[in-house]
């Protein structure tokens, strides 16, 4: 997975943990950005405007939402 990879997550999220494990298994380096779920960042609201939920994987400025979809994306790319 070439390019910039950013993960928007909240540390106790089990869904985010699923994504972190998939990234670790593939050896993908990523930038982790902690989200405050009570005060959501503009980046989260921009990348996931409909659900406004974590986790969100941003690959080359394109968001992928929902943990199972993210894991599938990681495996395919």
49-70, pLDDT tens digit by residue?
Answer: 999 999 999 999 999 999 999 9
14-55, pLDDT tens digit by residue?
Answer: 999 999 999 999 999 999 999 999 999 999 999 999 999 999
Measuring CA to CA, which residue among 3, 6, 1 is closest to residue 64?
6
pLDDT in the model for residue 3: 83
CATH number of the domain at 21, please: 3.40.30.10
CB 63 within 8 A of CB 39: no
20: helix, coil or strand?
Answer: helix
How many domains in the chain? Answer: 1
How far is the C-alpha of 45 from the C-alpha of 2, rounded, in Å? 25
pTM score, whole prediction: 0.92
Q: Which domain holds residue 20?
A: 5-76
**How many C-beta atoms lie closer than 10 Å to residue 33's C-beta?**
15
């Amino acid at each position: 997975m070439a390019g910039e990879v950013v993960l928007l997550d909240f540390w106790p999220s089990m869904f985010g943990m699923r994504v972190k494990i998939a990234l670790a298994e593939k050896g993908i380096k990523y930038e982790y950005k902690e989200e405050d779920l009570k005060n959501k960042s503009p980046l989260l609201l921009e990348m996931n405007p409909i659900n406004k939920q974590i986790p969100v994987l941003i690959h080359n400025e394109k968001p992928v939402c929902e943990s199972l979809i993210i894991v599938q994306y990681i495996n395919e790319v």
